[in-house]
Amino acid sequence: MERVRYSLQREIVFDTIMSERKHFTADDIYARLKVSHLKLSLGTVYRNLQYLSDTGRVRKITLPNDIDRYDGNIDEHYHLICTVCESITDLEIDYFNFIDEVVSSKYGLNIDNHNLVFYHKCPNCKGNKS
Ligand SMILES: [Zn+2]
Ligand SMILES: [Zn+2]
């Protein structure tokens, strides 16, 4: 019985991530579920997010100096971040597989993947200079 409940919670967390093309924090998801009166603790949300990213159903994005985000887009892709409001956008450019090969061969490693983040001021933030 417990197992069913856990998997149900997991699907709810998963559906929340997939509901929008957004990069959710654990807090975002927790806040959303609360609005729909679902009694999941923040700890449960974190546990489910960990499971979902471990099993490759969502992608965990670890950013320098920022909290982790969770992405329903599991294809390799890069992100564009606004330095003011921290909104994150997926970039639709090719993933540079060759960089992994360059580093792997130079250092004799097996690089799994890499991450690139581009920073800008989004049009919204550029507009209001307050
Ligand atoms: Zn912005
Ligand atoms: Zn993304």
What does each of the 130 residues of the chain score in pLDDT, given as a tens digit? Answer: 444 577 888 999 999 999 988 899 999 999 999 888 777 889 999 999 999 999 999 999 987 778 899 999 999 999 999 999 988 999 999 999 999 999 999 999 999 889 899 999 999 999 866 5
Q: How far is the CA of 31 from the centre of ligand 2 (A)?
A: 20
Contact in structure between 16 and 44 (CB atoms under 8 Å): no
Q: Are strands 69-71 and 23-24 parallel, antiparallel or unpaired?
A: antiparallel
Q: How far is the CA of 114 from the centre of ligand 2 (A)?
A: 14
> Whose atoms come closest to the Cα of 61: which ligand?
2
Q: Which CATH number fits domain 1-73: 1.10.10.10, 3.40.50.1370, 1.10.1040.10, 3.40.50.10260?
A: 1.10.10.10
Backbone angles phi, psi at 59, to 5 degrees: -110, 130
Contact in structure between 63 and 69 (CB atoms under 8 Å): yes
* Spans of all domains in the chain: 1-73, 75-130
Spell out the CATH class of 75-130: alpha beta
> Whose atoms come closest to the Cα of 69: which ligand?
2
pLDDT at 96: 93
> Whose atoms come closest to the Cα of 80: which ligand?
2
Q: How far is the CA of 126 from the centre of ligand 1 (A)?
A: 7
> Whose atoms come closest to the Cα of 129: which ligand?
1
Q: Tell me how far CA of residue 71 lies from CA of 15, 17, 101, 125, in angstroms.
A: 12, 7, 25, 23
pLDDT at 1: 40
Q: How far is the CA of 12 from the centre of ligand 1 (A)?
A: 29
Q: How far is the CA of 85 from the centre of ligand 1 (A)?
A: 4
DSSP the chain: -HHHHHHHHHHHHHHHHHTSSSEE-HHHHHHHHHHTT----HHHHHHHHHHHHHTTSSEEE--TTS--EEES--S--EEEEETTT--EEEE-S---HHHHHHHHHHHT--------EEEE--HHHHH---
CA distance 106 to 126: 41
> Whose atoms come closest to the Cα of 90: which ligand?
2
pLDDT at 8: 86
